[in-house]
Amino acid sequence: MTSVLQQLWRDKLDVVFPRSCIDCGDAVEGGRFRHVCIACEKKLFVVEPPHCTTCGHPFFGETDVNRLCPHCELLEPKFREGKTAVLLKGPGRALVHALKYHHGLHVLEDLVAIMREVPGYADYVRGAVLVPVPLHPRKLRERRYNQSTLLAECCVKACDGQATVQELLKRIVDTESQTHYDRATRQKNLKNAFALARSVKLNPASRYILVDDVFTTGSTLNSCAAVLRRAGLTNLDVITFGHG
């Protein structure tokens, strides 16, 4: 009954405040998502196999089991595997940017819906301990939430509650945005930027998955993974919403 009432309330709100597409700005009428119009749905690049098992980027054309991924071949990952939901273009980029830069918490339900559509995404996180990549306290005060924590919570919803979220890391170096830096510079800037949070309890027998919004060079995730590896965790993977 509660879900029916919620839907009726949403329908009324949609009449008073028509929804607009997060990407093109047109009205959203029907379709699979609440904030992506039908036309932009077609531009959403959901990642399907075959894809790189380290960073999740899809392989195009002919593939073989030994193929190197140009996006992470120089990474030397401290984790085992990685998975991503969408390529960071069009509506995929718009959804991430809305959440990360514009306080767009309204897109979270669409992120869950997309996660459920990505082949193997929900199964990948099921049963795991999800560890959000932390923000520095200054940035957290500024933004008022950690988008990686929200994405981890979306992952839990996508797998019907069969995963948990634990804040195991803290960011101890207030680095500037790494968006415009190359891989080598990012690695240098992020060295020793993370540490274990106080009084955390780790279980080496459990599977842990680091959660971040975007995989670009993998430097941030690798820096976090190195901290957890030094703490004794080897059953460690990563997941992101976008790649690009």
- Kindly report, residue by residue over 175-216, the tens digit of the pLDDT: 766 566 566 676 666 778 999 999 999 999 999 999 999 999
The reply to whether 183 and 232 lie within a common domain is yes
Peptide bond into 50 cis (omega under 30): yes
Q: Does 135 have pLDDT greater than 50?
A: yes
- pLDDT score for 175: 75
**Averaged pLDDT of the chain:** 89
Of the ranges 113-127, 133-147, 171-185, which one carries the lowest mean pLDDT score?
Answer: 171-185
Model pLDDT, residue 64:
54
Domain count within the chain? 2
Do 111 and 232 sit in the same domain of this protein?
yes
**Which of 156, 226, 145 has the alpha carbon at shortest distance from 193?**
226
Q: Are residues 146 and 231 in the same domain?
A: yes
Strand 208-215 relative to strand 236-243, pairing: parallel
What is the structure's pLDDT at 7?
43
Is the domain of 108 the same as that of 9? no
Residues 80-110 pLDDT 10s: 999 999 999 999 999 999 999 999 999 999 9
Return the CATH number at 178: 3.40.50
Full residue range of the structural domain in which residue 131 is found? 45-60+69-243
Half-sphere exposure of 140 (CA within 13 A, CB side): 12
Please tell me whether residues 5 and 114 are part of one structural domain.
Answer: no
Domain match, 29 and 50 both: no
Same domain, 38 and 99: no
DSSP conformation letters of 72-106 = TTT---SSS-EEEEEESSTHHHHHHHHHHHS--GG
Higher local confidence (pLDDT), 108 or 15: 108
Q: Which residues contact 239 (CB under 8 A, 6 or more apart)?
A: 56, 82, 83, 84, 121, 124, 125, 130, 155, 209, 210, 211, 212
Of 220, 219, 217, 221, nearest to 239 by C-alpha is 221
Q: What is the pTM of this model?
A: 0.89
pLDDT digits (tens, 9 = 90+) for 221-244: 999 999 999 999 999 999 999 999
Query: What would you measure as the largest C-alpha separation in the chain, in angstroms?
Result: 55
pLDDT computed for residue 5 by the predictor: 41
Q: Are residues 110 and 221 in the same domain?
A: yes
- Judge if 5 and 93 occupy the same domain: no
Q: What pLDDT score does 190 carry?
A: 75
Q: Are residues 109 and 168 in the same domain?
A: yes
Q: Are both 193 and 214 inside the same structural domain?
A: yes
Q: 166 is written with which tokens?
A: 């634990």
**Residues 21-79: tens digit of each pLDDT:** 999 999 999 899 999 999 999 999 999 999 999 999 999 875 555 567 888 888 999 99
Q: Are residues 84 and 177 in the same domain?
A: yes
Read off the pLDDT of each residue in 106-115 and give the average, rounded to a whole number: 97
